């Protein structure tokens, strides 16, 4: 018999320790602490951002002598005489209506042209389509204010200086590149089967555009409308350069004269600021849901 040597037994490794997991109560406390911290930061930011606006709003409802005695006190009564004085005596009503007319017309023209052009470029195949899309988007790389001198000479030759029509055309043209960029990106994500189904039902291009495409791009239209409304309403540069008659001034330019004339009348001055701010506040308040749905519309695609 042959004897065999016994192999040495290797010690077994100890079983791995189970991973330590935090208890549900500890995770709940951590999540609650994070939410409280985030909400505290947001409330502090809101107080810093809206605090001055609230002081101006309260000051617009108080007479000037009360504001000078205690600038941060609450109004004893809601007096609207400052708004009446700012609207009528300071001609802010004229400037306000000029801004409303110019802003609405320019935004409507810009969005109308852009959505029709975006539909043709993204949903139809033709020669030069890529060049035409690049031509529109190239406007984002060139600030319009750099071409002020050629624009002024062109407007002077066409009789558009000191006219609201000139400002409307200028604002609409300068807003088309950004509007086209947003709408073309949105329309490229729409399924082609919707158009094919509509065409099988006998719909032509106009019917497809009006009944199929426009309802689908409504969130994007809301986004570009708001993003064109705000800079057009707040623009100070072009009205200052292109307008001569004070009765044609927009509200940003009219506020400069208003500040010089009513710098001592704090109540009327605050009322004028609230009048200039009110349209933007209302637009963003009522369209915030459309803005969020438009900005997140492409996530689910």
pLDDT string in tens for the chain (301-residue length): 444 445 556 555 555 555 555 566 666 666 677 788 888 888 888 888 888 888 888 888 888 888 888 878 788 777 788 898 888 877 888 999 999 999 999 999 999 999 999 999 988 888 888 888 888 888 888 887 888 889 999 999 999 999 999 999 999 999 999 999 999 988 888 888 888 888 888 888 888 888 888 888 888 888 899 889 999 999 999 999 999 998 999 999 988 888 877 777 888 888 888 999 989 888 887 776 766 665 555 544 4
Q: What's the token pair of residue 40?
A: 């505290």
User: Which residue is associated with the tokens 């609650």?
Assistant: 32
CA nearest 279: which of 213, 211, 226? Answer: 226
Please state at what angle helix 218-234 crosses helix 92-123, rounded to 10 degrees: 140
Task: Give the pLDDT score at 38.
Answer: 81
Give the per-residue SS3 of 170-228. HHHHHHHHHHHHHHHHHHHCCCHHHHHHHHHCCCCHHHHHHHHHHHHCHHHHHHHHHHH
**Tokens 């029509």 -> residue:** 165
At 147 the pLDDT is: 84
Number of CB atoms found within 10 A of residue 172's CB:
22
DSSP state of 76: S
The residues, ordered by sequence, that sit 6+ positions from 185 with a Cβ below 8 Å of its Cβ are 298
Q: How far apart are CA 298 and CA 301, in angstroms?
A: 5
How far apart, in whole angstroms, are the C-alpha atoms of residue 78 and residue 100? 27
Domains of the chain, CATH where assigned: 100-249+284-295 (1.10.3720.10)
What is Dmax (Cα atoms) for the chain?
126
Question: Does the global pTM surpass 0.85?
Answer: no
Place of tokens 């708004």: 83
- The residue behind tokens 């308040």 is 285
> What letter does residue 263 receive in the DSSP assignment?
S
Helices 266-295 and 24-59 cross at an angle (nearest 10°) of 140
Contacts of 12 (CB under 8 A, 6+ apart): none
Distance separating alpha carbons of residues 150 and 156, to the nearest angstrom: 10
């Amino acid at each position: 018999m042959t004897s065999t040597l016994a192999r040495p037994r290797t010690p077994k490794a100890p079983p791995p320790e189970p991973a330590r997991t935090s208890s549900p109560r500890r995770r709940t406390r951590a999540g609650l602490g994070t939410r409280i911290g985030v909400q505290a930061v947001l409330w502090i930011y809101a107080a810093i951002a809206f605090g001055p606006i609230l002081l101006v709003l309260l000051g617009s409802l108080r007479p000037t002598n009360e504001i000078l005695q205690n600038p941060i006190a609450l109004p004893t009564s809601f007096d609207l005489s400052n708004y009446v004085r700012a609207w009528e005596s300071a001609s802010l009503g004229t400037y306000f209506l000029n801004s409303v007319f110019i802003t609405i017309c320019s935004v409507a023209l810009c969005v109308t042209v852009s959505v029709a052009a975006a539909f043709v470029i993204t949903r139809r195949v033709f020669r030069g389509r890529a060049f035409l899309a690049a031509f529109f988007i190239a406007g984002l790389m060139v600030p319009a204010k750099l071409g002020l001198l050629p624009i002024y000479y062109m407007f002077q030759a066409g009789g558009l200086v000191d006219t609201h029509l000139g400002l409307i055309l200028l604002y609409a043209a300068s807003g088309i590149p950004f509007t086209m960029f947003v709408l073309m990106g949105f329309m490229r994500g729409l399924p082609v089967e919707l158009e094919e189904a509509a065409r099988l039902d006998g719909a032509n291009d106009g019917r497809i555009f009006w009944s199929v495409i426009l309802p689908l791009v409504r969130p994007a239209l809301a986004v570009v409308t708001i993003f064109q409304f705000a800079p057009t309403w707040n623009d100070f540069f072009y009205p200052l350069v292109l307008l001569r008659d004070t009765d044609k001034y927009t509200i940003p330019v009219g506020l400069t004269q208003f500040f010089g004339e009513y710098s001592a009348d704090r109540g009327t001055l605050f009322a004028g600021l609230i009048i200039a701010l009110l349209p933007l506040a209302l637009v963003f308040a009522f369209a915030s849901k459309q803005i969020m749905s438009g900005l997140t519309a492409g996530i689910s695609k």
